Structure 1
C-alpha cells in the first residue's frame, strides 16, 4: 500500500460517517446545504468536519467567517481550522491556502485530483462523527475518485446527489 493511501486510511478511519454533497450543476446551493447539515449536526452534539474541495470557487471559509485564517502543519499533516472554541466544527479548504480570497485556482484533471487526494490523506481530522465533503459542480473525474477513496477509508458514507433549486 502506498504511503499516502495508508495515511489517508488512517486519517479517515476515525471518521464515523462521510456525507458527500454533489451536483452536476453550479450555483444550486451545495455549499449552503453543506453548511446547514453541519450546523444541524453540531446542534445535536456531533463533532463535524467540512472538506471544501471546490478548488476553483471555495466558499465555505467565507460562509463561516473564516476568511484569512491559516492552516497549520502538524507532525501528521494539516490541522483543519476550527469554527469556534468548542472544537465541534472544523473546516479545511483550498481557500485557506490562497494568498487572497479573489485568487483563482485553475487546475484540471490530474493536478486537481492530486490536490483532492492530498486533502483526503493529509488533513488530520481526529475523531469525527461526520465529515461533510462540499464538491465543485460537475462529475467527471472527481466523483469516482472520491467515492472510491472515501469508501475505503471511513466507516460509512452517504451521498447527497442532484441538489436542485428553483426560484
Structure 2
C-alpha cells in the first residue's frame, strides 16, 4: 500500500501544478508583463504537453526501468517547478510548463502500469482509482491551497511549494 501512496502523492503534485495556474493567472500575467489572455497560454501549453509530449516520451523511454522512469519524471517535475518559480519571462515560463506537462503525461501512463503490478489481480481497479484520486484531491485541496499561497506570498511561492511537494513525492517513491 505504501508504494501506491507514493504514486498518489506524485499524482497530487502533478494535478495541482496543472490546474493551480488558473488561480494565480492574473498575478503571473502581471509578474511576467503579459496580458491575462496571453498568460492563458500557460494553461493551453500545459494541456498540449500532456496530450502530445506525454505519449511520445512514454514511447521513447520504454526501455528504462519503471522505477527509474518514475523517479526521473518526479525529478523533472521538481526541477521544473523551481525553474518556473525563477522564470524571468513569459516565453521561458511557457517552455518550462510544457516540459513539466510532458513529464506529467508520461507519469500517469507509467504509474498506472506500476500500480496494477503492485497489487493482486482483484485489487487492480482500486490501485488505479487511488492514483487517479490524486488528481481529484489536487483539485479539491491542492489548487485552492496553491491559489491561497499565491495570493498571500506571490505566485512564485506557489511554484516553490510545488517544488517542495515534488521533493516529498521523490522521497516517498
Give the TM-score normalised by the residue count of structure 1.
Answer: 0.28
| Structure that is richer in strand per residue | 1
Larger Rg: 1 or 2? 2
TM-score of the superposed pair, with normalisation by structure 2 = 0.28
